[in-house]
């Protein structure tokens, strides 16, 4: 697809001596909070690498994504400022990725504060504040709340039909 950065492919990238940033996430139901996190991460350096959690890794974490991995990866790859997208397959790969890509700064949202401090021996660790009022969990809860079963729809139509008969 035109403009799409495939896994492992660079767009732009850091110049020699530039800072490389890495962050990870599921990026399900992509929203303004995700966009702002990526923008603020990119502002910390020259090259932004984003690890997108695979469906298999999410299952290991007890999470189910609504949007499949390949679609989430494509969405993130097409965000301005993202230079490289890689799959996130495990918790353990972070040290390996930091070494492999010469990462200077590891970035996560503030909801993870302290959880990745063990990476400070490899690079700088920064926790960015979350965008208030929006999260994938919140969106998922809204979608769950507004979902209606087939039986409820049929019942609603039966009630409408009865009202129509009563009024005519």
Q: Is-catalytic flag, 61?
A: yes
Strand runs (DSSP E) across the chain, as ranges? 20-25, 47-53, 84-88, 105-109, 124-128
How far apart (Å, rounded) are the C-alpha atoms in residues 23 and 36? 13
Out of 61, 64, 115, 155, pick the active-site residue.
61
CA distance between the termini of the chain: 57
Q: Is-catalytic flag, 42?
A: no
Pull the structure tokens for residue 70.
């390949």
How far apart (Å, rounded) are the C-alpha atoms in residues 107 and 36? 13
How far apart (Å, rounded) are the C-alpha atoms in residues 32 and 19? 25
How far apart (Å, rounded) are the C-alpha atoms in residues 127 and 62? 23
Active site residues per annotation: 61, 63
């Amino acid at each position: 697809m035109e403009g799409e950065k495939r896994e492992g492919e660079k767009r732009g990238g850091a110049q020699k001596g530039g800072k490389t940033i890495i962050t990870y996430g599921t990026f399900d139901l992509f929203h303004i909070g995700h966009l702002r996190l990526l923008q603020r991460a990119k502002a910390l350096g020259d090259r932004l690498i984003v690890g997108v959690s695979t469906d298999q890794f999410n299952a290991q974490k007890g999470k189910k994504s609504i949007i499949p991995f390949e679609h989430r990866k494509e969405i993130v790859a097409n965000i301005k400022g993202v230079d490289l997208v890689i799959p996130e397959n495990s918790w353990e790969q972070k040290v390996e990725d930091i070494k492999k890509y010469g990462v200077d700064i590891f970035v996560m949202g503030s909801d993870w504060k302290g959880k990745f401090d063990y990476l400070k021996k490899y690079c700088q660790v920064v926790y960015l504040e979350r965008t208030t009022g929006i999260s994938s969990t919140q969106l998922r809860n809204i979608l769950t709340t507004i979902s209606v079963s087939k039986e409820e729809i049929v019942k609603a139509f039966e009630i409408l039909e009865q009202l129509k008969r009563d009024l005519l």
